[in-house]
Amino acid sequence: MNEAIVTKGLTKYYGKARGIIDVDLAVSRGEVFGFLGPNGAGKTTTIRLLMDLIRPTSGTASVLGIDPQKDGARVRSSIGYLPSDFGTYSSMTARKYLHTLLDMMGHQGDNRIEEVAKRIQLDLDRRIKDFSRGNRQKVGIVSCFMHTPPLIIMDEPTSGLDPLMQQEFYKMVLEEKRAGRTVFLSSHILAEVEAICDRVAIIKDGRILVTENISAFKKKTGKVMTVSFNERVDPSRFSSIPGVSHVEEDGDHTLKMTVSSNINALIKEIARYDIEDLDYEELSLERMFLRYYEDDGGEGR
């Protein structure tokens, strides 16, 4: 089986309240997959369904070829999982907690507790209740990597980490990918998704808006051109060109626009004016993300 995660028509209602609706996902083995959306979009609901922590209203899911509804315990023991609201036995030391977790999972092989803890500067012999929020998050990260699972599922994994530890975490994720393992992570931090993910799905109001390879996603969405003129220019002269969108004034004599095609026609129109400066850059994932939300009729919940 080539997919580590597959969902088809996965739907969850909490009474009459929307959780997720008809979510279709296919996450390949050996890829880093980003699940993007603001708070309330449905990211955590989807992950909890994959873990069989809640049951769907309709639809199906498969995790490592296992139906979570039929064998949720096997799913949970086969993967590394970090929930968004990670909690532990606070009276234990980090070392005691992690070894207890391994025993509960029935793990028989070597573990990487010491190795991973050293990399993210976690003191294993302190009691968890004495940790800061960031250090508690580190305990959760070690719990995901310590038994070298084939699949890691993480919900907002870098919450509470300082920038240096975030960078170390990114290195660890990419090492898992090179080893052929799969990482599925939800996030609202677009820079981290752009840095480490192969593909991304954007969810809004419980529905998937798009699933795309990040490089193809950028190519499809376009680039940003910023043009400074030596005179005031009517933005409508550019917004009417096919392939040019989101034309905005950025000061009296500067226009910023998104260009996805028809660059020749755009250059010809620009050449009609006296130009002071021109810049052409990739559209950041953050701007792409916001565009999808704006074009779909507003921000997600």
Q: What is the pLDDT of residues 25-64, one digit of tens each?
A: 999 999 999 998 878 889 999 999 999 999 999 999 999 9
Residues 194 and 268 in one domain: no
Rounded to an integer, what distance in angstroms lies between the CA atom of residue 172 and that of residue 211?
24
Nearest alpha-carbon partner for 57 in 24, 14, 25? 14
CATH number at residue 257: 3.30.70
CATH number at residue 73: 3.40.50.300
Residues 126 and 162 in one domain: yes
Determine the pLDDT at residue 28: 96
Residues 127 and 240 in one domain: no
Asked whether residue 7 is assigned to any structural domain, the reply reads yes
Residues 11 and 156 in one domain: yes
What would the two tokens of residue 62 be? 């498969």
Residues 130 and 34 in one domain: yes
pLDDT digits (tens, 9 = 90+) for 95-139: 999 999 999 888 877 799 999 999 999 999 999 999 999 999 999
Residues 114 and 228 in one domain: no
Instruction: Residue 115: give the domain boundaries.
Output: 3-218
Last residue of a domain, one of 171, 198, 218: 218
Asked whether residue 288 is assigned to any structural domain, the reply reads no
Asked whether residue 292 is assigned to any structural domain, the reply reads no
Number of structural domains (the chain) is 2
- What's the half-sphere exposure (Cβ side, CA atoms, 13 Å) at 217? 24
Asked whether residue 37 is assigned to any structural domain, the reply reads yes
Nearest alpha-carbon partner for 185 in 19, 85, 2, 36? 36
Residues 173 and 241 in one domain: no
37 vs 241, more confident: 241
Residues 140 and 153 in one domain: yes
Residues 46 and 176 in one domain: yes
Asked whether residue 9 is assigned to any structural domain, the reply reads yes
Residues 235 and 210 in one domain: no
Asked whether residue 250 is assigned to any structural domain, the reply reads yes
What would the two tokens of residue 131 be? 């940790």
Residues 229 and 255 in one domain: yes
Nearest alpha-carbon partner for 249 in 218, 271, 227? 227
Residue 227: pLDDT over 50: yes
Average confidence score pLDDT of the chain: 89
Last residue of a domain, one of 218, 236, 258: 218
Last residue of a domain, one of 218, 242, 264: 218
Asked whether residue 186 is assigned to any structural domain, the reply reads yes
Residues 113 and 203 in one domain: yes
Predicted TM-score (pTM) of the model is 0.79
Question: What does DSSP assign to residue 247?
Answer: E
